[in-house]
Structure 1
Amino acid sequence: MKSKLYSLSLLIAIIFISGCGSSENQNQGAESTTAVQSVGQSGVKDDVSNPNIVQIAVGSEDHSTLVAALKAADYVDALTNVGPFTVFAPTNAAFDALPTGTLETLTKKENQRQLRDILEYHVLLGVYKPEDFVNGRKMGTADGRSVEIEVAKDGAVLVNGGKIIGTVQASNGIIHVIDKVLVPN
């Protein structure tokens, strides 16, 4: 009995000692954790997994204006999270079609909330593939409003009049490239 008690005490002591490191090592670990936490989900580097929605947009020459708007609205981390999301991603040409000065005004710091509302109007919670869209269906967006789906006779899908011109699967959802910036009423 004494032998078993001694062995158990020794095991506990070994576990305790091995769990204690120098305070220097513990501080380095805390600093490293703090650095990762302050960056947010978008700061996690992962070149192995399938790209998320933001990584795909960053890699697309046709979506540099969208990426700049996401950064200005502080909405990058939200769309790098797990999701799943359906994102209607306007092309640069769609942003260029906005009235002159609109984008410049929206990307000012004092208009960040308004820009974020517009970007959230392009996001659905859940994954909706093109075949899931039904003519006349209203779908709730991340900003609490709704977009309306139209399916043309030729099979083209339109979202509030913006045509889906491409679809890309992402690790945290799906992107539908559209030819129009959706502006809430």
Structure 2
Amino acid sequence: MKNKFAFLSLLILISALTGCKENQQNESATVTKVEEKAPVKQGQAFIKDDVSKPNVLDIAVNSPDHKTLTAAIHAAELENALVNAGPLMVFAPTDEAFAQLPAGTVEDLLKPENKAKLALILKHHVTPGNYDKEFLKHFKKLGQASDQNVPVEVKGEDVYVGGAKIIASVPAGNGIVHVVDKVILPEN
């Protein structure tokens, strides 16, 4: 009787363990299927940081006036470049600035086949450094991440970079965001 009870207990234990293993395999299969459907973006830009001062990307993403710029950054996949240590100066065109472009331009640039062109335009809005508007008055031109230069002009108290007027400036953890009223287009 004791052996029958031990044998029966062993069978129950094996059944329970097998059932658990099957459930774990089913859960793993479910998780794998979910991951396959929604690819996870990777890199520094996708790490949540509630402690540090916002970086230039955080400032753009959280601004109600920069939805078009944010969509362009995502389409060009430049998020990780804007969260690195820097320092970076980003000349951030407002949604109104993008609206000044010819009809259909933004929609066309956001297409996957125009990713390289969009990336060049966005890089034309980034300069290494961290200079406030007053200090920029000492420059004649700036070298952009697009490997092109843009002129700096001072008209009274206003500073124009590549023809775009700086209308506000926001310090960031890895540089500064200068809000501008125009999209700065590269020569090519």
Relative to the length of structure 1, the TM-score reads 0.77
Superposition pairs of residues 140-151 of structure 1, within 5 angstroms: 140-151=143-154
Post-superposition shift, 1:131? 1.5
1:39 is the counterpart of 2:33: no
Larger Rg: 2
Could you tell me which residue of structure 2 aligns to residue 82 of structure 1? 85
The partner residue of 2:72 within 45, 69, 73 is: 69
Could you tell me which residue of structure 1 aligns to residue 118 of structure 2? 115
Please tell me the residue identity of whatever aligns with 1:39.
Q
Superposed CA deviations along residues 55-79 of structure 1, whole A, max 9, x for unmatched, are: 1111100001100000000111100
How many residue pairs match? The answer is 148
Structure 2: where are the runs of 5+ without partners? 1-39
Where does structure 1 differ by over 3 angstroms across 4 or more consecutive aligned residues?
A: none
Structure 1: where are the runs of 5+ without partners? 1-36
Measure the CA separation in 2 of the matches of 1:141 and 1:148: 10
SS of 1:87's equivalent in the other structure is strand
Post-superposition shift, 1:136? 6.5
Could you tell me which residue of structure 2 aligns to residue 156 of structure 1? 158
SS of 1:163's equivalent in the other structure is strand
Measure the CA separation in 1 of the matches of 2:76 and 2:135: 29
Measure the CA separation in 1 of the matches of 2:138 and 2:105: 30
Could you tell me which residue of structure 2 aligns to residue 138 of structure 1? 141
Measure the CA separation in 2 of the matches of 1:180 and 1:118: 12
Could you tell me which residue of structure 2 aligns to residue 51 of structure 1? 54
Measure the CA separation in 1 of the matches of 2:125 and 2:139: 17
Post-superposition shift, 1:134? 3.0
Measure the CA separation in 2 of the matches of 1:122 and 1:172: 15
Superposition pairs of residues 92-131 of structure 1, within 5 angstroms: 92-131=95-134
SS of 2:66's equivalent in the other structure is helix
Measure the CA separation in 2 of the matches of 1:135 and 1:92: 29
Post-superposition shift, 1:135? 6.2
Superposition pairs of residues 160-171 of structure 1, within 5 angstroms: 160-171=162-173
Could you tell me which residue of structure 2 aligns to residue 19 of structure 1? none
Please tell me the residue identity of whatever aligns with 1:118.
I
Post-superposition shift, 1:128? 1.6
Superposition pairs of residues 1-20 of structure 1, within 5 angstroms: none
CA RMSD between the two structures: 1.4
Please tell me the residue identity of whatever aligns with 1:175.
V
Cα gap change, 1:152 to 1:174, in 2 (>3 Å): same
Please tell me the residue identity of whatever aligns with 1:172.
N
